[in-house]
Copies of this chain bind each other. A is one copy, B any other.
């Protein structure tokens, strides 16, 4: 009886969307195509009968955030009245149904505003689930049996690449070696700093921020390229290499700005600086361009995924060898659930997942730990962007260039200062 009562109390009784906007310091967040971003979170906020609350969100860059919030209000209705454990026991099917809503699917399918809304909804469900169990997300995921984990996933349209059986087998194959990988929880997960090299920053500011980041323990840095002035790109790239030193890891990010001929030319010019990767070198839908570029710029590699919206397109990119670093993002894909699906696909292709952090690393700090321990992915590093730190209840704890393992129950998405009358 007490169990039954407890279950009834974790029924979702309210779903509200919040349109949260955060202004950034001058120049922060700028890149070749997003020149003056206002980081905005389309928040799904859940309440339960026993007064628990949970938060999920997707990132957008300003006025469109309202559209995602409106889509959340429409798509989240099936959550009302659902008990969280029962919901999550079949979340793959829930995700499939929401993403194939007969009326809303036309707006995607599985991409754009409706898919961003599903990301936010999904992440809120995982937050509530982890809080209900009193554990951080990484532990929640590690505690699941393979069958339970795969029941969280919508593997439709992957029948030719990752069946339910394949997914269970893959997780099971990594089970006995988990213990060897547990020390990462103590050491923490390495970070790399994106915030030194925003497009609008003057050279001196990039140098100063890079030096400061090195002092803090970072040894990997990303620079925005794709400027209309190609010489500026070349100068800044050279400067970053000199400032960071030959032993540092540097990456260049064009944010989709280049057409293929320009990408070919610029990647060739910048390759002598030995970057680890070129990120989003051209249009994210252009599979053929990525394949061609990959063959031309080898051994330099391609990172992509920030704007690849779903598992079907990732399947195509992975299969074609069109990317080398899989920048899945749980705030672009259909949340934590589809992030895990793409992580399984990537593991099968033996490619590393290095998330793009539309969540500022809050959720992904959990997910890379699960990917490492649970799926046997190699340790890479996790992007670090500090600009929204002050707005989280539990901002990621990054020390010595390393993400410390989060211990609070949930997915670390809770925000300060949500509109009080509704929360």
Q: Which residues of A contact B (CB under 8 A)?
A: 33-38, 59-64, 66-68, 70-71, 74, 100, 102-116, 156-157, 159-160, 256, 259-261, 282-289, 292, 307, 309-310, 312-313, 315-316, 319-320
Contacts and interface: CB of A to CB of B under 8 A. Distances in A.
A157 B313 CA distance: 18
Instruction: Decide if the interface of chain A is mainly helix, strand, loop or mixed.
Output: loop
B106 A64 contact: yes
A379 to B, nearest CB: 30
B63 A74 contact: yes
Given A70-B66, A282-B157, A287-B316, A107 B103 contact: no
Given A107-B113, A260-B160, A288 B319 contact: yes
A286 B259 contact: no
Contacts of A104: 61-64
A106 B289 CA distance: 21
A154 to B, nearest CB: 12
A159 B283 CA distance: 12
A315 B310 CA distance: 20
A159 B260 contact: yes
B60 A64 contact: no
Contacts of A313: 285
A33 B114 contact: no
Contacts of A309: 111
B156 A259 contact: yes
B285 A316 contact: yes
A64 B74 contact: yes
Contacts of A307: 109
Contacts of A110: 283, 285
The 7 residue pairs across chains A and B that have the minimum distance between CB atoms: A112-B112, A62-B103, A113-B113, A285-B312, A159-B259, A157-B283, A64-B107
B285 A37 contact: no
Given A159-B260, A282-B157, A287-B287, A103 B61 contact: yes
Nearest to A34: B102
Contact of A160 (B156, B285, B289): B289
A70 B69 CA distance: 12
A289 B158 CA distance: 10
A116 B109 CA distance: 12
A110 B289 CA distance: 17
17 contacts: A33-B102, A34-B105, A35-B102, A60-B106, A62-B103, A64-B114, A67-B71, A67-B113, A68-B107, A107-B116, A109-B256, A113-B113, A156-B259, A157-B259, A157-B286, A159-B259, A160-B289
Given A102-B33, A256-B109, A286 B71 contact: no
Contact of A108 (B106, B109, B112, B288): B112
Contacts of A35: 102
A327 to B, nearest CB: 15
A285 B256 contact: no
Contacts of A310: 285
Contacts of A288: 315-316, 319-320
A316 to B, nearest CB: 5
A263 B207 CA distance: 55
The residue in A103, A284, A319 that gathers the most chain B C-beta atoms within 10 A of its C-beta is A103
A37 B105 CA distance: 11
A312 B282 CA distance: 11
A179 B106 CA distance: 40
Contacts of A108: 111-112
Contacts of A316: 285-288
Contacts of A283: 109-110, 157, 312
A102 B63 contact: no
